[in-house]
Structure 1
Amino acid sequence: MATQLTGTTDLTTLGHRIRHFRAAAGLTLDALGSRIGVAPSQLSLIENGKREPRVSTLQAIANALGVSLSHLLDEQPPSTRAALEIELARAQAGSLYASLGLPSIKPGRSMPTEALEAVVGLHRELSRRASEAIATPEEARRANTELRETMRERDNYLPEIEELAEERVRASGHRAGALTHREVSIMAEQLGFSLIYADDLPHSARSVTDLENGRIYLPPASIPGGHGLRSMALQAMAHRLLGHERPGSYAEFLHQRLEINYFAAACLMPRDAAVGFLRTAKGDRELAVEDFRDAFGVTHEAASLRLTNLATSHLDIRMHFLRVGGDGALYKGYENDGIPLPADVTGAIEGQFVCRNWSARSAFTRTNRTTELYQYTDTPAGTYWCATQTGHTSADHFSITVGVPFDEAKWFRGRETTTRAVSTCPDENCCRRPTGALAERWASQSWPSARLHAHILSPLPSGTFPGVDDSEVYEFLESHSAQ
């Protein structure tokens, strides 16, 4: 195994520096290889940034070229031309260029520097325009992206909140089955709060906590089965249990929201009971979100998300989760299995359109949507098995998907499906660009009336608690405080 280079040496820059000093010394690859005892083909790979050399090889190269090792390893490109070539290579390796479905350019010696400057300039402008398009909500999108990446590094698992949830659930007297409304009320009482169901709850708030009078106000009705009311109550309690202060930034607000949602899910599907249930299902090769959902009396989405919390840490399964709107836009996503989620130039996935060939979208085309769609999808990152369930709200249809790499499908119900699709996204030729014949037939003969989504023009929610109308909340608390 090659000795690793120290620091953060960039192999592309290193290769350019070696080529620069070799040319300055008047040596061919064959001549340099002969001097240091390395095959010219290996030196070519090193110069093209495709192989990491041993430190001993680098020292031999430096000696043969008459430069110091530290000078050879300098992080600066050796020339203006080299800097342009390096910038071009990095731009062409990015997701933005990959989405265009165009071939990469390898600038040879015959390519004029002026032409190279023009191509790199086009890449800079392409990146600038892509960034400009998401500049308004940039802070929120970047914060959300950073939070998602942090959770991926932790396999979407927060052991400290798991422990807290287990403790509070046990203290409520809960022993098995779904967590009841009565047990949630006991948990609130143990914290010094009572649950009040109010018809006039402010429209901008899901719940309101009165710290002075020890009350948590909730709406009188929610998701059938009561999962929504239990979850909202648990989220309100989580703020107190986790010691949250008023958020000082949008990033902090998002982090708090993630923690309270995690706590509520960990209470409704307690870790020990949930892991026991899932391990038994895995042993029977019958893992299924619908069984997990029904066992704990929660929604399909809640069960799917909770599965991502526990799958890697306790079942040794890497997976992904998607919530996709009827228009194909990704509302919520998580992955630690390498599936190539669509992303903008900041890395944000929210609002990006998933491939039409993924089950998260093809499920909308089915006549019978009462059962899950099981599908294998071949992607540039490998083959994935997915299970997708569709649903709808008063405003839109949506789909909930969980999926795993091909080798992990053996543990899940629905693995026998023969439904299979191919996706080459982010190459736009996959599903986003019309065929040549269609474009030629209709490009000049069509004039669609675009549907303008209201959220496009909506400003980022403001306030201490973004989107909450403080005046409404204070007036509500004032009117109820004397009751």
Structure 2
Amino acid sequence: MKDLATLGHRIRHYRSDAGLTLDQLGQRVGVAGSQLSLIENGRREPRLSLIGSIAAALGVAVSELLDDAPPSERAGLEIELERLQRGSVYASLGLPAVRPGKNVADETLTALVGLHRELARRSREAIATPEEARRANTELRQKQRSLDNHMASIEDIAEREVAAVGHVGGALTHRSVTRMAERLGFELVHVDDLPHSARSVTDLENGRIYLPPASIPGGHGLRSMALQAMAHRVLGHTEPESYADFLQQRLEINYFAAACLMPLRQSVDFLREAKGKHDIAVEDFRDAFGTTHESAALRFTNLATAHLDMEVHFLRVGDDGAVYKAYENDGLRLPVDVTGSTEGQLVCRHWSSRVAFARTNRTTEFYQYTDTPEGTFFDSTQTGSTSAGEFSITVGVPFVHSKWFRGRETTNRLTSTCPDESCCRRPDTRLSQRWSGKAWSSAKLHAHILSPLPSGTFPGVDDQELYEFLERHATQAG
């Protein structure tokens, strides 16, 4: 059903034009006037048959009642005020809602809506800080853990979109991605002047999705970026109202892109076959669908519990040992700060995620068993590098599930007792005695830890740069 508030306002508009009271209209359609009042106030969803009866009684087409547009400028303001007052920003103030009745002048209503818009804008700016991001990210990680990192509704949508362009197996081609965009009314345009703070930009007015140049290394990333941009439309996203909302949307578009690039049925069939051979390997999963190792590892976490009956953990760790991304539902104790956030925390030096950096041959995955206070875990780690430095991608499972994986015969085995500081955080006694008080070092500071993200409609994206980019390309296209 469409937005109930708009539907209610349109019914009230045409009822008033017809000169009917609620009770009079109710008599014509066979319902009480009080029930119609609930419908007009957006508090009850009417059956389609009742909408048809109301339309007939008012002498208008059903399509007129179901139109998305408010029936008047005043109605649009009333709908927006009601929506804003239901939002979390206004609710947090503990103030009563103002009902925009007939006695509220148009000027007063306009001023109230304007104040609410500004309140929402300032709230978005105020929360775009690393501290808020960590809190929201922690809550989102806990939520995904409760879902086993599996989102069935998005799986269904992705399967439908991929099937609509005739894709049946193998890696999703750039041509298929382009056709998916065209079905949604978008043209993919590659440019070399994207805003510095944006990975892609979607021009909703002119139906264009702007992406980096098609010749950049690792073209598979362009497919993912295009799919993420389309996902906002496919999943019905609106402008994020909070940082938590922004992170949820980002998670959903990443999930949609992965579910398109590595479709559910084909992925599960591939992994079940590998499990049957006791030869699951993320590198094979990656190569079969032409994605990055990180994408394949994350996609594995979407499917492992829901379809392969195994718990799992995932880590992306920098060469300094800091966590960039993490997920677990297998009991691995992730390093966390006092707020419960794991991003930026250091993993144990004995974990596969850090040990893998020391090996010479990095062309294949590194395998290791790690004994911890929570049990023994089997890990598969692949290292890589970007302009920002090296990183590792780890997928692991409890010992009981290691039998399904390639590399299970490894003799690499270490013990970790972290967060006990005696495990790996205290320096060797001999070295400590040798150098304590005899050295001085200046720390490398990660500036982004202290800096707020650019404030804007979309957290992290500079509005001025974004709008100047859109204007520039709209003018060129025109």
Identify whether the pair has TM-score above 0.5, normalized to the shorter chain: yes
Match for residue 464 of structure 2?
Answer: 471
Counterpart of 2:233 in structure 1 is 240
Q: Give 1:150's aligned residue.
A: 143
Change (3 A) 1:457 1:139: closer
User: Which runs of at least 4 in structure 1 moved beyond 6 Å after TM superposition?
Assistant: none
Aligned residue identity for 1:150? K
**What's 1:250 paired with?**
243
Shift of 1:224: 3.8
Task: Tell me the amino acid that sits aligned with residue 271 of structure 1.
Answer: L
**1:453: Cα distance to partner?**
2.2
Matches within 5 A, 1:72-471: 137-221=130-214, 224-471=217-464
Kept after mapping to 2: 8 A contact 1:222/1:228:
no
Instruction: Pick which of 398-407 and 430-439 moved more.
Output: 430-439
CA separation in 2, counterparts of 1:411 and 1:148?
Answer: 26
Contact 2:130 2:451 (C-alpha < 8 Å) held by counterparts: no
Amino acid at match of 1:266: A
Indicate conservation of the 8 Å contact 2:313/2:397, yes or no.
yes
Q: State the one-letter code of the partner of 1:143.
A: A
Letter in 2 for 1:462: S
Q: Residues 222, 148 of structure 1: CA spacing in aligned structure 2 closer, same or farther, 3 A cutoff?
A: farther
**1:285-344 superposed Cα distances (whole Å, 9 cap, x missing partner):** 010001000000000000000000000000001100000001100000000000010000
SS in 2 for 1:403: strand
What is the Cα deviation at residue 151 of structure 1?
0.2
Larger mean CA deviation between 463-472 and 432-441 belongs to 432-441
**C-alpha contact 2:130 2:450 (8 A) present in aligned 1:** no
Deviations 1:52-108 (A, max 9, x none): xxxxxxxxxxxxxxxxxxxxxxxxxxxxxxxxxxxxxxxxxxxxxxxxxxxxxxxxx
Cα offset, 1:223, TM superposition: 6.1
- Which digits, 9 at most, give the CA deviation of each residue in 1:417-461, with x for residues without a partner? 000000000001100012333322221222223222222332244
The amino acid across from 1:335 in the alignment is: E
Matched AA of 1:183: S
What TM-score comes out, normalization by structure 2 length? 0.71
> RMSD across aligned C-alpha pairs, in angstroms?
1.4
- Taking a change above 3 Å as real, the CA distance of residues 136 and 467 of structure 1, as seen in their structure-2 partners, is closer
Question: In structure 2, what is the Cα distance between the partners aligned to 1:136 and 1:248?
Answer: 15
Letter of the 2:256 partner, please give it: F
1:136 positional shift: 6.6
**Residues 225 and 297 of structure 1 are in contact (CA less than 8 Å); yes or no, is this contact kept in structure 2?**
no
Indicate conservation of the 8 Å contact 2:311/2:329, yes or no.
yes
| Distance in 2 of aligned mates of 1:341 and 1:297 | 30
- Partners in 2 of 1:446 and 1:463 — Cα distance? 44
* Alpha-carbon shift at residue 186 of structure 1 (Å): 0.7
Q: Which residue of 2 aligns with 1:4?
A: none
Deviation at 1:466, TM superposition (A): 1.3
- Change in 2 beyond 3 A, CA 1:480/1:223: closer
Question: Mind listing any 5+ residue stretches in structure 2 that lack a counterpart?
Answer: 1-127
Partner Cα separation in structure 2 for residue 436 and residue 380 of structure 1:
24
Once residues 187 and 442 of structure 1 are traced to their aligned partners in structure 2, the CA distance between those partners, rounded to angstroms, is 62
Letter of the aligned partner of 2:131 in structure 1?
E
Match of 2:113 in 1: none
In structure 1, what is the Cα distance between the partners aligned to 2:240 and 2:279? 42
CA 335–446 in structure 1, closer or farther in 2 if over 3 Å, else same = same
- Specify every segment of 5 or more residues in structure 1 that has no aligned partner in the other structure, as ranges: 1-134
Question: CA separation in 2, counterparts of 1:203 and 1:399?
Answer: 26
Whole-angstrom distance in 1 between the partners of 2:336 and 2:454: 22
Which amino acid in the other structure matches residue 174 of structure 1?
H
For 1:240, the aligned partner's letter is R
Pairwise CA distance, 1:225: 4.4
Q: Secondary structure at the match of 1:377?
A: strand
Could you report, residue by residue, the CA deviation over 1:253-301 in whole angstroms, capped at 9, with x for unpaired residues?
0000000000000000000000000000000001000100000000000
- Residue 275 to residue 336, structure 1, CA distance change in 2 (3 Å): same
Shift of 1:222: 6.6
What do residues 100-127 of structure 1 show as CA deviations (whole Å, max 9, x unaligned)?
xxxxxxxxxxxxxxxxxxxxxxxxxxxx
Q: Is the 8 A contact 2:319 2:391 kept in 1?
A: yes
Q: Deviations over 1:177-228 (max 9, x none)?
A: 1000110011111111111111211121111111111111111147644211
State the distance in 1 between where 2:434 and 2:320 align: 25
User: What secondary structure is seen at the aligned counterpart in 2 of 1:244?
Assistant: coil
Q: Is the 8 A contact 1:383 1:406 kept in 2?
A: yes
- Scaled by the length of structure 1, the TM-score of the pair is 0.71
**Partner of 2:331: helix, strand, or coil?**
coil
- Alignment length (residue pairs): 349
Q: Which amino acid aligns with 2:184?
A: L
CA distance in 1, matches of 2:215, 2:161: 23
| 3-state DSSP of counterpart to 2:424 | coil
Distance in 1, matches of 2:154 and 2:212, equals 26
Equivalent residues of 2:185, 2:207 under 8 A apart = yes
Q: Identity over aligned residues, as a percent? A: 73
Change (3 A) 1:253 1:404: same
